[in-house]
Amino acid sequence: MSDPDRVMVVDVEATCWEKRPPPGQHSEIIEIGVCVFNLKTSMPGLSVSILVKPERSKISPFCTQLTTLTQEVVDSGISFAAACARLESAFASKQHLWVSWGSYDARMFRDQCAGFGVAYPFSDQHVNLKRVFANRLNNKKQIGMAAALTMCDLSLNGIHHRGGDDAYNIARILGVLVKRFGLEVLATPLVES
């Protein structure tokens, strides 16, 4: 990794439906939230939101209700390929350990990269912070990010289910874990590839 004092915290939002997707539509990433976490200070930096214009689906009313994102908003976004390129150019994403709340984000990126023929923009060093939190603070029971914030005596900043805001909140939880348990919370065997 080029900067061992930085970790990327990533959260994605994707098209979704209350039930099944309409025929011919597939869930895809519509927002990528990134927050760079400083391991020396145990503090999150500013969060960034990258809007991604969907190519295989439309925003449903359910998706708008959950995320606040509308079709008009995501239509102003960039392509998935351009978003992946931006992760590499702006954040050196292939050179850093990265963290997400659960395995969903990593799975969505791997699936969408394969489906779109786009190079995977991250290193293979991924930490499922939801699992780490469960193992360290919640008797191995995995819970949602909002519940974890409450357990850490932190309030939710921003809008839940918006990529940039969620990435920032996940970074705040990471800060609590690093302060309580040290950097080993990011070490093997809790690192997933």
Q: Residue 193 burial (CB < 10 Å; 0-12/13-18/19+)?
A: exposed
Strand, coil or helix: what is 47? strand
Query: What pLDDT is recorded for position 13?
Result: 98
Average pLDDT over residues 98-124: 96
What is the set of domains in the chain, with CATH numbers?
A: 6-192 (3.30.420.10)
d(CA 86, CA 78): 10
Contacts of 106 (CB under 8 A, 6+ apart): 100, 122, 126, 128, 192
Which tokens sit at 191?
């690192």
Peptide bond into 189 cis (omega under 30): yes
pLDDT at residue 1 tops 50: no
pLDDT in tens, 32-49: 999 999 999 999 999 999
- Mean pLDDT of all residues belonging to the chain: 94
pLDDT at residue 193 tops 50: no
The H or E element spanning position 110 is: helix 104-116
Which tokens sit at 101?
């709340």
DSSP 78: B
pLDDT in tens, 123-137: 999 999 999 999 999
Q: Are 2 and 35 within 8 A, CB to CB? A: no
